[in-house]
Amino acid sequence: MDRETTNKYLKTHGILPESRFGQNFLCDEDIIASIVEIAGIRKGDRVLEIGPGIGALTRPLSAMEIDLTSVEIDKRLSEILREDPDINAQVIDSDFLKLTDYNPEAFDIVISNLPYYVMTDIMKKLFAECINARKMVFMVEEEATARIDASPKTKQYGPLAVLTAVYGVYSEELTVQGSCFIPAPRTTSAVISLTRSEDAKALNKEFVRFVDTCFSMRRKKLTNSLKAYPKEIVEGAYSKLGLDPNVRAEELAPEVFISLYDAIIN
């Protein structure tokens, strides 16, 4: 939907965008078409969309021969989407962060104009649960890309960068100006894609928790954060991997977290 149609749709349905849900509705048809194309969706794919809003992406996705599930926190919007003849999706009323009654491993593709206030938590949940998805495409705040695609030994490097790198190959696809949304967010946005790699096999809920734990005292030695694990197991893992006992989490490459997890937990 373009700007005019989006405005009309909001008016007809009496919807005032809720800032507490991060509602900035995309209304640029070229950007919408690009996002759908970037996702590389194939016939028969099972696609998960987080936060369909009033259907900017849900509408073109509904026209494809796919199995689409869209999870929306705002009941006003999910009710409208369910009644919209152009929407062909299973719309789930839920805060995605609380959703347990679904089959995350079944999804081939994840797509979302992410609500920025919960971006990190949603991405972590996806990395922990949607472990078979071959691609994830997100709209994020442009300034957040520095944290998502951060390198070791930088201030921005943390759990989100480690998990993103373990999941796959990062690509920044598009920059999107605030004027492409109703209402316009204060910041510029970016569309990013993540393509699953071999290392993604390491992802699960426990691994995500482990990476968070490793960074829980990021200014201190990593051993401080690993105190919950038996000392001799941690020491054995360090010697097996040849790690300096003084190393800090932010100095370790993403793949080292996989080896460390295997050595301590498995």
Binding mask 88-107 for ligand SAM (x = CB under 6 A): -------xxx----------
39 binds ligand SAM (CB under 6 A): no
By C-alpha distance, which of 126, 159, 136, 164 is closest to 41?
Answer: 136
Nearest-approach distance from CB 138 to ligand SAM, in angstroms: 11
DSSP count for the chain of H helices, then E strands: 11, 9
Nearest-approach distance from CB 153 to ligand SAM, in angstroms: 33
Q: Residues 31, 80, 115, 147: which binds ligand SAM (CB under 6 A)? A: 115
Q: Residues 52, 158, 159, 168: which binds ligand SAM (CB under 6 A)? A: 52
Nearest-approach distance from CB 154 to ligand SAM, in angstroms: 28
- Nearer to ligand SAM among residue 3 and residue 134 (C-beta): 3
Nearest-approach distance from CB 215 to ligand SAM, in angstroms: 23
By C-alpha distance, which of 121, 100, 173 is closest to 142?
Answer: 173
- Structure tokens given for 105: 């491993």
Provide Rg for the chain, Cα atoms: 20
- Nearer to ligand SAM among residue 114 and residue 252 (C-beta): 114
Q: Which helix (H) or strand (E) holds 216?
A: none
25 binds ligand SAM (CB under 6 A): yes
Nearest-approach distance from CB 195 to ligand SAM, in angstroms: 21
Nearest-approach distance from CB 32 to ligand SAM, in angstroms: 8
Nearest-approach distance from CB 133 to ligand SAM, in angstroms: 17
- Nearer to ligand SAM among residue 75 and residue 231 (C-beta): 75
By C-alpha distance, which of 156, 152, 166, 94 is closest to 123?
Answer: 166
69 binds ligand SAM (CB under 6 A): no
Alpha helix (H) ranges present in the chain?
Answer: 3-12, 29-38, 58-62, 75-83, 119-129, 145-148, 159-167, 205-214, 222-225, 231-241, 254-265
Q: Residues 51, 159, 168, 254: which binds ligand SAM (CB under 6 A)? A: 51
At 194 the three-state DSSP class reads strand
Q: Which residues contact 106 (CB under 8 A, 6 or more apart)?
A: 46, 132
Count the neighbouring beta carbons within 10 Å of the beta carbon of residue 93.
14
123 binds ligand SAM (CB under 6 A): no
Contact positions vs ligand SAM (CB under 6 A): 21-26, 50-53, 56-57, 71-74, 77, 95-97, 113, 115, 118
